[in-house]
């Protein structure tokens, strides 16, 4: 285990590594087997078995993930949605109430609106920028507060410090989705959050070639999450875990390049005559810039924009870009561009999308690690086509 005083670049490479590894290996091997001998008296949840997230490959990955977020423990999951739902299934019981950000990833929003009632939960969506409204939304049954570091797709940054203070005062478990920021740009546990989760499909892996998630936090809470996963069957296959551990080693390098690219592109777009709006917390014009600059060590690789020509121009932009792939997902080494109404938030009711500002003309960009000059040049030529 390595000290958290080491840089993120060093932690990403060396954190959680076995020195030496099995048979003297530098790269930890894949333990694909499901069958391991069991010592008498071993607790069920500690039996080495892939579904129980307890095999050598899985334990190795968990140690690497924990170091990145400065957590006591971590557990990997079969997808980002498994990482989003397992904490809620672990801290909420029938009759409990949840406070949740009113701007969540579409899948998380749909999980609450479609399944919370069946599970016996109630919930209230709150504005995470207005601390004065939270107390009135809380009930005696409220047990947890669910938020995101940077929201999808408008890149809003809530009053995260105030959320931690409020939750501690009220005795609530805080759960935060740190996917968009990654531990390079924000470490929620150090800021006082109880549980942090990621869609590891995105920045943590960074190569658009696997689906995974993870949950990090204190040992007791993560233990509860792992037991929940054991029963719901949301464990991660060791081979996907091997790819994720490999991707983690370049996390800091990739994210810093993506931060730089997003800032460069956002500045270019904000000054372009065809662009009506750019949403990026690194811009002085962003409504959350001041407190985001205090919270974050980088503003992320994601931005969104609207063109003066509306939805038709937005679709034209997608057709005209050459470097960026028109595809959902995010966080990979290649730039991706999409309209959230057709991908990440397609499952939301249109009126809910409209209320949150996720309109038909909104374009979301996940910046890759290409040359920033090439990225700007590509958008410049694409906008010329839209204009003509």
Active site amino acids: 51, 105, 177, 202
Q: How far apart are CA 114 and CA 264, in angstroms?
A: 39
DSSP bridge pairs for 74: 216
Instruction: Tell me how many degrees the CA angle 249-252-258 measures, rounded to the nearest 5.
Output: 125
Q: How far apart are CA 68 and CA 377, in angstroms?
A: 35
Half-sphere exposure of 260 (CA within 13 A, CB side): 11
Torsion angle in degrees (nearest 10) through CA of 238, 239, 242, 247: -130
Tokens for 14, please give them.
């060396």
DSSP bridge pairs for 217: 73, 195
Q: What secondary structure letter does DSSP report for 51?
A: G
CA–centroid distance for 142 within its chain: 24
* Helix or strand (DSSP H, E) at 312: helix 310-320
3-class secondary structure, 77:
strand
> DSSP letters of 116-181?
TTTTT-EEEEE-TT-GGGHHHH--TTEEEEEEESS-TTT-----HHHHHHHHHHHTPEEEEE-TTT
């Amino acid at each position: 285990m390595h000290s958290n005083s080491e840089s993120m670049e060093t932690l990403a490479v060396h954190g959680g590594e076995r020195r030496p590894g099995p048979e003297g290996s530098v790269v930890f091997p894949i333990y694909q087997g499901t069958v391991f001998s069991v010592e008498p008296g071993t607790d069920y949840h500690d039996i080495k078995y892939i579904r129980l997230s307890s095999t050598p490959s899985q334990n190795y990955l968990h140690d690497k993930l924990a170091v990145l977020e400065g957590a006591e423990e971590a557990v990997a999951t079969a997808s980002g949605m498994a990482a989003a739902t397992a904490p809620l299934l672990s801290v909420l019981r029938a009759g409990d109430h949840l406070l949740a950000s009113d701007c969540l990833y579409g899948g998380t929003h749909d999980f609450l609106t479609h399944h919370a009632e069946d599970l016996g939960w109630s919930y209230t969506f709150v504005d995470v920028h207005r601390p004065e409204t939270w107390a009135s939304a809380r009930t005696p049954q409220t047990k947890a507060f669910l938020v995101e570091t940077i929201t999808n797709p408008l890149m809003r940054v809530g009053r995260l410090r105030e959320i931690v203070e409020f939750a501690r005062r009220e005795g609530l478990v805080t759960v935060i989705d740190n996917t968009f920021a990654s531990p390079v740009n924000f470490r929620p546990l150090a800021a006082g959050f109880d549980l942090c989760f990621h869609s590891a499909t995105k920045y943590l892996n960074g190569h658009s070639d696997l689906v995974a998630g993870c949950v990090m936090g204190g040992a007791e809470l993560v233990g509860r999450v792992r037991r929940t996963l054991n029963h719901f069957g949301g464990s991660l296959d060791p081979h996907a875990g091997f790819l994720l551990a490999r991707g983690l080693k370049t996390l800091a390098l990739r994210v810093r390049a993506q931060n730089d690219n997003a800032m460069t592109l956002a500045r270019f777009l904000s000054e372009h005559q065809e662009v009506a709006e750019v949403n990026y917390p690194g811009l002085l014009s962003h409504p959350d810039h001041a407190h985001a600059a205090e919270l974050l060590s980088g503003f992320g690789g994601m931005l969104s924009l609207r063109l003066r020509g509306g939805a038709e121009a937005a679709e034209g932009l997608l057709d005209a870009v050459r470097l960026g792939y028109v595809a959902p997902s995010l966080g990979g080494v290649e730039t991706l561009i999409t309209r959230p109404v057709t991908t990440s938030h397609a499952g939301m009711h249109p009126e809910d999308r409209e209320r949150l500002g996720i309109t038909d003309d909104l374009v979301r960009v996940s910046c890759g690690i290409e040359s920033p000059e090439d990225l700007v040049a590509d958008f410049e030529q694409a906008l010329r086509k839209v204009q003509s």
